Every structure is written in C-alpha cells, then in structure tokens.
C-alpha cells in the first residue's frame, strides 16, 4: 500500500477561525486526508491524495484569498512578533484601524448636538464633505473585507466578511442616495465608516490575543537559532574553534559549549561536565548535572562548566523541533466538542443574511419607514459573529497546550486534553515511573563454589550489557569490566531476561524468577543467574520511590480515581510499593503482551489512563484511553504516548489532568458564550435596540471576551 505524501504549509491571510474552516473544507473537498489547519500559527498540514498536486492546491487557496508562504518567509513569520505581519502599509489590521480612525472620528462629530448651533462646524454637516471623508475608509474596508467576501462567495464558502461588506455598503449606498436626492434624513455615512473601523479593531484584538498564546511556542522556536562553537582539526591535528550558526550544524559535528551559553543542538557530551538549566523544555528551573556520555537538549542553558560534545540531531530531527511540531499539531486537532460549532459556522453566514433580509422586510411592513428598517437589518449583519464560535475551541486549546509545554507537559493532540475529563482509573508502571529507576546493587549470592566472585560478576555483566532495561543498565554501570565474554549467540526475551551461548556451547541466562524452573527457594531476588540449566547465583537490587509518588497517588484518591500498579516485577516487590503508596490494586509479573491485554480489558470497563516509560510499555500506552509517557523528551517518547511528561515529571501528572479538565470546561464556557451572544444579540438588533455602530463594537468585544476567558487558563488553579 502506497504511503500518502505529508504536506506542511505556512498559509498567510487567515484572519479568523472561520478562515481555517474554509481552508479545511476546501482541501477535504479536493480529496485531501488528515487535514489540519492551525489558525493561531497559520500552519496547514494534510496528506496528498487524488489527482491534484501541490501547485494546483496552492492556486486554489490563492483563489480563496489566502497565500501559501515560501519556507524562508514562513520561518520569518514564526520569529515575527506581529502575527500575520506581511510588511508594507495597510497590511495589518492595526495599520488599517489607525488609518480609518481619524476619518471616522471627524464623521462622528456631527452627531454632537452642541456643534449643530456652532457656525464654525457647519462644513461638517455638508453631505458631500461626509461622502469625501467616508471614501478612504470604505476603500480600505472593501479592499480587504470586500475582496475576501467576493472570493468566499465565488467558492461557495461565505465568511464573516460577507456580513461586514453588505452592512457597510448598504449604509454607504443608502447615504449616497440621500445625498444625490437632497434628503438629509437618509444620510448615515458615519455608520459605514464606524462599522469598518471597529471591525478592523476587533480583528486586531482577536489576532493579538490569540497570538499572545503562542508566546511560549515562539520562545521555543527562537531557541533553535543560536551561535555554536565548532571544533575542527587541521592537517597537523591542531584543534581550531570558530563560531557558526546552529542551523549550519550537522549530525556528527564536534562543538564546544561554555558556561553561560545555550546548547545549540541536541548532542552527547564527550568530555567535561556541567550544570544545565532545562526550564525551556521541562519547566524545571533547578540546574541538572550532566557528565560524559549524557545527552544535552538543544535550547537548554549551561549555567556552569565547559564541555566538548558531538551533535546527535539537528533541524526537524531535534527534540526541540519535535516538541514544537507536537504542540503545533495538537493545536490543529479538533476535539469532538468542536464538531457541532463547525457545522453551525458553515451555514451561519447565509443564515444571517437571510435573517437580515427578513428583519428589513418585517420592520418595513410594521414601521412603514425604510430608514430604520435598513438600519436594523444592517445592525443584524454587523452584530452576528461566526468568529466567536470558531474561536471558542482554538483559543482555549492554545492556552492549555501553552501552559502544559511551559511545565514540561506535552499533549500529542487536543482530543487527549478533552479525554482527561472522563478518566476514572490510572494504571502505573513501577520501575522508572513510581520509582526512580536508578538501581543500586544491594547484594549478590553465588551458589556454585567453582565460580569466583570476579567470574560471576563478569558473566552477569556480559549478559546484561545487551539489555536496555533499567536494572540491566544499573548492573553494567557498577560491574563494568574489560574481560567480557564474547557470545556466540545472545537474545533478550521481554519480561524474562537475557539468554546466551558462548563459543564452547555453554548456555547462560540472567533474568526473573520464572527462568529458574523452581530451583530457587524464594522469589525475593531481582536477577537469577543460570548456567546450563543450573542456578549459579542471584543479584539483589534496591530502587527508591520517587519523592512525589505519594502526593500524586493521594491526588487521584481525592478525585475518586482508582489507582492500579501494573508491573513485570515480582508480586512481593509490587505489593510492597503499592502498600507504601496506598495503591488500590496490584497486578504483577506481566509481560508487555500481557500488559497490553490487561489495559484493553480495563478500557472496556471504564476510561483508563496509563503512565509508563514510553519504550517498554509502548503497546499498552497506545491501547489506553490516554497513554502518558514518563520518558525524557526523546523522539521515542514523543512518538509513543498521547501525553509526554518530560524530565521524568511525575509531579506534573495532576497538572496534566487538571489542565485537560479545565480546558474542556473553558471550551464549553466559550461555546456557551458564543451561541448565547448570537441568540440574544441578533433579535435585539432586529427590533432596533442596537445601532449598527454599537453592534460593531459589541461584535469586536465578543471575540475578546472569549480570548480573555481562555487566557484565564494560563493562571487559574487547575489542580
């Protein structure tokens, strides 16, 4: 089966969430799959299917009024503090607002009664003067709203600019008719100018508030371009150090990082040790000690020390880039709660135009007066706000994801944020999740008198060095030797242990109690060592609980959420940990395949979250309602679970759940406000209780109310 090509674009010209919906509908109509449109960042991604190529689709978006930006421009936009800034005059909503404001304020002066009796202001009452003052505002408005409206109608996807254009043009044309026929009572130039000016202000305020939620992501993006000290050697093998941009680094390059500098790319320390502040990635401001062979994450800050390191990943392969992409993609996701709002938004504009026309007809019949009937119809057009419905979800998700990223919590998609509200039980892996995973050898026992202590340690080391299990790593770190056994054959069986054969045909094994065949009298050791089917010794290791484990378990109990310990370790060890922490249920001695089956069964009973290391527990994490990886911010972790707690941040698990629940509450509150606003505002405007000018101001403020409500998520207590 052929894999579809994944396309990622940066699209300029999205001025409201309805625009994102328009682009989404267009690409889906053209047969594209997995379409994701992020209004906040302008990012668009989809899988290329069917006959259309990139160029044809790009031209199609241009026809809709949007522009696919080249890669270099896209990068410039990411680093720009002015969201959607394209350069030039009257290219941003703020510039358009300030241009229109002086003309509009002068037009509004004639509405002050005191000026009517002042002869110095008679010129302002002249219809043709008002016409001239309105023209620059109208031209600016039509060049933006009008062009966008025409393109959207032509593509059968009318947007909110249709409402603004019809409203402003109706007021202007009616006023022009009054001017030409000498009927001053028909002149409402200030209405056309005010509607355009205030909608520009509203669009700017919406744009600014949504862009501000991207601040954390922009910080992450900016960290990717820093200077690096490149190490190179000449023909005489003399070391030379020279500065280059981090974007020019390649995997394998050698770099020098000094105290006070930023780590320019993901790398591994070859020489030296240092302390690093990884707050930009993990949210943890306390410096972390790093030494030879440790991994450094690009973007972190070296607080003291000097190291030489080798670059392990650059560009899109780096941890930082993975985090940025993860947050961006999560913002583009639409949780189920948004689907109803999207369906209503799609028919909203034609519906409002119909209501406005009906308002005009009914009022004309009842009032027998054309002017107030038209003003009420214009007020209906102007006050209706499809953007509020479109903004409800993206604004809340952007803030929720931003706060999560700031605290080392990465959500793969918006659905996982929403799903937290349903979680009724949490399953924990033991090693490396509830415990530190840093084992120490507390003792060992040799049962064969013919084997020396040195030989025993050598056998265990030679077997365990081929495993990535935390226990194996602890043993190999402590018992490292240069005289390791060269195996003829070696394999690892998950959940059991390591099995090997040497050149003489001797069979060795190191693993769990299961491999002993009952030869061991008890199962209280961690590792049992076998030679040709005979038990020759055992190793005992100790692992300490994470200091925050008890607090996290207590939190879930306070929320009436069941806690379960699911481990591959022995039942006695698992029970000991469970009793110490107060965990409700213990399931032990399970292989990864059995863990997968158990999670599947738990999920059918009630929504289940699982917390694991993101590598050994990958299948079970994928099966859970929400899989939460406890691994460091590696690519494996980013690709495994729906939620990643970086820097082993178990302490942030309650915050992740709280953010999920409160983000959902915020979305519901936003949608309620958006629907209630339109349900109340449209009838109020239809019966003449709101002027078009006041309607335009209220419409602008409706988006700001949603943005401010969403912004509360950044600071409110969620745990």
**Cβ atoms of residues 225 and 246 within 8 Å:** yes
Element (H, E) at 502: strand 497-502
Using alpha carbons only, give the angle 659, 661, 662 rounded to the nearest 5 degrees. Answer: 65
Give the number of other CB atoms < 10 A from CB of residue 561.
16
Question: Can you tell me whether residue 385 is helix, strand or coil?
Answer: coil
HEC letters along 230-282: EEEECCCCCEEEEEEEHHHCCCCCEEEECCCCECCCEEEEEECCEEEECHHHH
How many Å from the N-terminal Cα to the C-terminal Cα in the chain? 46
**Cβ atoms of residues 97 and 202 within 8 Å:** no
Distance in angstroms (rounded) separating the CA atoms of residues 357 and 677: 20
Q: How many CA atoms lie within 13 Å of 613's alpha carbon, on the beta-carbon side?
A: 19
HEC letters along 66-90: CEEECHHHHHHHHHCCCCCCCCCCC
In the sheet that 301-305 helps form, which strands lie side by side, from edge to edge? 288-290, 274-277, 301-305
Distance in angstroms (rounded) separating the CA atoms of residues 201 and 195: 10
Q: Which of 266, 342, 429, 543 is catalytic?
A: 429
Distance in angstroms (rounded) separating the CA atoms of residues 290 and 61: 49
Mention every residue, 6+ apart, whose C-beta is less than 8 A from residue 106: 124, 133
Q: What is 148-167 written as a DSSP string? A: HHHHHHHTT---HHHHHHHH
Distance in angstroms (rounded) separating the CA atoms of residues 46 and 28: 9
The beta strand positions in 87-137, using DSSP E, are none
703 catalytic per annotation: no
**Cβ atoms of residues 379 and 634 within 8 Å:** no
Mention every residue, 6+ apart, whose C-beta is less than 8 A from residue 140: 90, 96, 99, 100, 196
Token pair 């109310």: residue: 705
Question: Can you tell me whether residue 567 is helix, strand or coil?
Answer: coil
Distance in angstroms (rounded) separating the CA atoms of residues 663 and 396: 6
Using alpha carbons only, give the angle 53, 162, 694 rounded to the nearest 5 degrees. Answer: 140
Q: Are strands 425-428 and 497-502 parallel, antiparallel or unpaired?
A: unpaired
* 364-366-371-375 Cα dihedral, nearest 10 degrees: -90
What is the dihedral sign for C-alpha 281, 284, 290, 294? negative
Under DSSP, the state recorded for 145 is: I
**Exposure of 301 by Cβ count < 10 A (0-12 exposed, 13-18 middle, 19+ buried)?**
middle
Distance in angstroms (rounded) separating the CA atoms of residues 178 and 187: 6
Residues involved in catalysis: 429
């Amino acid at each position: 089966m052929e894999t579809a090509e994944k396309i990622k674009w940066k699209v300029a010209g999205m001025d409201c969430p309805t625009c994102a919906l328009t682009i989404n509908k267009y690409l889906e109509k053209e047969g594209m799959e997995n379409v994701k449109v992020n209004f906040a960042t302008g990012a668009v991604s989809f899988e290329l299917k069917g006959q259309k190529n990139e160029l044809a689709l790009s031209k199609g978006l241009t026809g809709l009024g949007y522009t696919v930006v080249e890669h270099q421009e896209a990068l410039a936009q990411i680093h720009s503090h002015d969201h959607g800034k394209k350069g030039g005059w009257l290219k941003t909503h703020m510039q358009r607002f300030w241009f229109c404001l002086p003309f509009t304020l002068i037009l509004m002066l004639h509405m002050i009664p005191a000026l009517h009796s002042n002869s110095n202001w008679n010129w302002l009452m002249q219809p043709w003067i008002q016409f001239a003052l309105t023209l620059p505002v109208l031209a600016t408005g039509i060049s933006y709203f009008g062009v966008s409206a025409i393109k959207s109608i032509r593509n059968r996807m009318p947007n909110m600019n249709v409402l603004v254009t019809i409203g402003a043009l109706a007021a202007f044309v009616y006023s022009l008719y009054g001017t030409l026929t000498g009927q001053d009572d028909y002149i409402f130039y200030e209405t056309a100018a005010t509607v355009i000016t205030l909608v520009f202000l509203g669009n700017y305020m919406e744009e600014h508030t949504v862009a501000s939620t991207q601040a954390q992501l922009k910080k992450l993006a900016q960290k990717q371009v820093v200077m690096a000290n490149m190490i190179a050697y000449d023909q005489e093998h003399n070391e030379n150090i020279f500065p280059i941009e981090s974007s020019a680094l390649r995997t394998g390059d050698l770099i020098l990082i000094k105290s006070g500098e930023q780590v320019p790319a993901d790398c591994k320390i070859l020489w030296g040790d240092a302390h690093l502040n990884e707050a930009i990635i993990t949210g943890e401001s306390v410096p972390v000690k790093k030494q030879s062979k440790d991994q450094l994450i690009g973007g972190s800050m070296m607080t003291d020390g000097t190291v030489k390191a080798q670059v392990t990943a650059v560009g899109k392969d780096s941890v930082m880039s993975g985090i940025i992409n993860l947050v961006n993609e999560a913002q583009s996701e639409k949780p189920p709660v948004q689907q109803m709002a999207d369906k209503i938004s799609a028919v909203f504009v034609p519906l409002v135009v119909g209501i406005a026309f009906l308002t005009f007809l009914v009022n004309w019949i009842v009032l027998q007066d054309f002017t107030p009937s038209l003003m009420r119809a214009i007020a209906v057009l102007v006050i209706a706000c499809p953007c509020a419905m479109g903004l409800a979800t993206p604004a809340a998700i952007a803030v929720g994801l931003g706060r999560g990223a700031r605290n080392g919590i990465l959500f793969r998609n918006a659905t996982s944020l929403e799903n937290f509200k349903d979680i009724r039980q949490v399953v924990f892996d033991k090693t490396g999740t509830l415990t530190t995973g840093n084992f120490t050898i507390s003792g060992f026992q040799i049962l064969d008198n013919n084997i020396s202590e040195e030989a025993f340690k050598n056998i265990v080391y030679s077997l365990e060095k081929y495993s990535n299990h935390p226990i194996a790593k602890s043993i190999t770190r402590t018992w490292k030797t240069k005289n390791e056994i060269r195996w003829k054959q070696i394999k690892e069986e998950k959940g059991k242990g390591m099995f090997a054969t040497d050149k003489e045909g001797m069979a060795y094994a190191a693993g769990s109690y299961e491999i002993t065949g009952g030869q061991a009298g008890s199962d209280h050791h961690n590792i049992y060592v076998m030679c040709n089917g005979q038990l020759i010794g055992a190793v005992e290791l100790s692992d300490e609980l994470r200091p925050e484990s008890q607090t996290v378990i207590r939190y879930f109990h306070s929320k009436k959420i069941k806690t379960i310990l699911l481990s591959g370790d022995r039942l006695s060890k698992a029970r000991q940990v469970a009793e110490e922490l107060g965990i409700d249920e213990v399931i032990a001695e399970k292989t990864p395949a059995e863990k997968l089956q158990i999670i599947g069964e738990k999920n059918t009973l009630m929504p289940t979250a699982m917390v694991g290391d993101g590598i050994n527990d990958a299948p079970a994490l994928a099966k859970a309602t929400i899989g939460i990886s406890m691994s460091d911010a590696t690519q494996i972790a980013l690709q495994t679970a729906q939620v990643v707690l970086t820097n082993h941040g178990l302490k942030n698990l309650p915050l992740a759940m709280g953010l999920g629940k409160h983000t959902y509450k915020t979305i519901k509150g936003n949608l309620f406000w958006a629907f209630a606003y339109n349900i109340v505002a449209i009838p109020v405007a239809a019966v003449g209780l709101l002027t078009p000018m006041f309607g335009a101001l209220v419409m602008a403020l409706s988006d700001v109310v949603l943005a401010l409500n969403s912004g509360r998520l950044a600071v409110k207590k969620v745990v």
